[in-house]
Amino acid sequence: MMDGEIQEKMKTGTTTVGIIANDAVVLAAERKATMGYLVASQDAEKIHQVDDHLGMTIAGVVGDAQALIRYVKAELKLYELNESRKMSVESASTLIANILYSRRFYPYYVQLVVAGYDGKPGLFTLSPDGSVMPEKYFSTGSGSPIAFGVLEEQYKDGMSADEAVRVAVRAVRSATKRDIASGGSGIDAVVISKSGYKKVSDEQVKKIAQ
């Protein structure tokens, strides 16, 4: 399938953000799900925990994303059972990239941010063709051009997890103000660190967003 056809399929409404902090990685996303001009849901989940130390944001076709999440969770569990240890963030990203590459002619129409902590924070972006890239910060979805404006101005190396949460939430909030396909009932944010996978409370997110 040509790149242009993939890009056309990817035109679905979402804004997700990932940021590397000093000793953690932060993910954030809004909650609106769209079907063309129809708002299908105001409470769609776009950040998914796939292991104790790994999370993934989704943008694209929801059915493809859900099927891929189930596949990845099963593969990670099998790896842990066979090896008696968790898969590293980079290895998990490579695994997902290989799954996407194997389906490149009949692709999963998704764009993903995979993040986690395995002694250090890691953040990787993946496309339907199976490409995978490490990043310090990234945004996916229709609101990403707006989110990138905030990220490029406010991101700095070595920021704390709290600072990264503030920047991520502000980036997503900015996208919801200008991208018609982003919004919903609120913003979700998670922090993944040596303490594990932790969802930021709705009250804290609302305080930052205001």
Q: Residue ranges per domain, the chain?
A: 3-209
| pTM of the shown model | 0.92
pLDDT value at position 38?
Answer: 79
Write out pLDDT tens, residues 80-106.
999 999 999 999 999 999 999 999 999
**pLDDT over threshold 80, residue 36:** no
CB 123 within 8 A of CB 137: yes
Residue type present at position 130: G
Helix (H, G, I), strand (E, B) or coil at 93: helix
Q: Which residues contact 48 (CB under 8 A, 6 or more apart)?
A: 55, 56, 57, 58, 69
3-209: CATH topology is Glutamine Phosphoribosylpyrophosphate, subunit 1, domain 1 (3.60.20)
Catalytic residues: 14
Helices (H), 22-160: 62-83, 89-102, 144-154
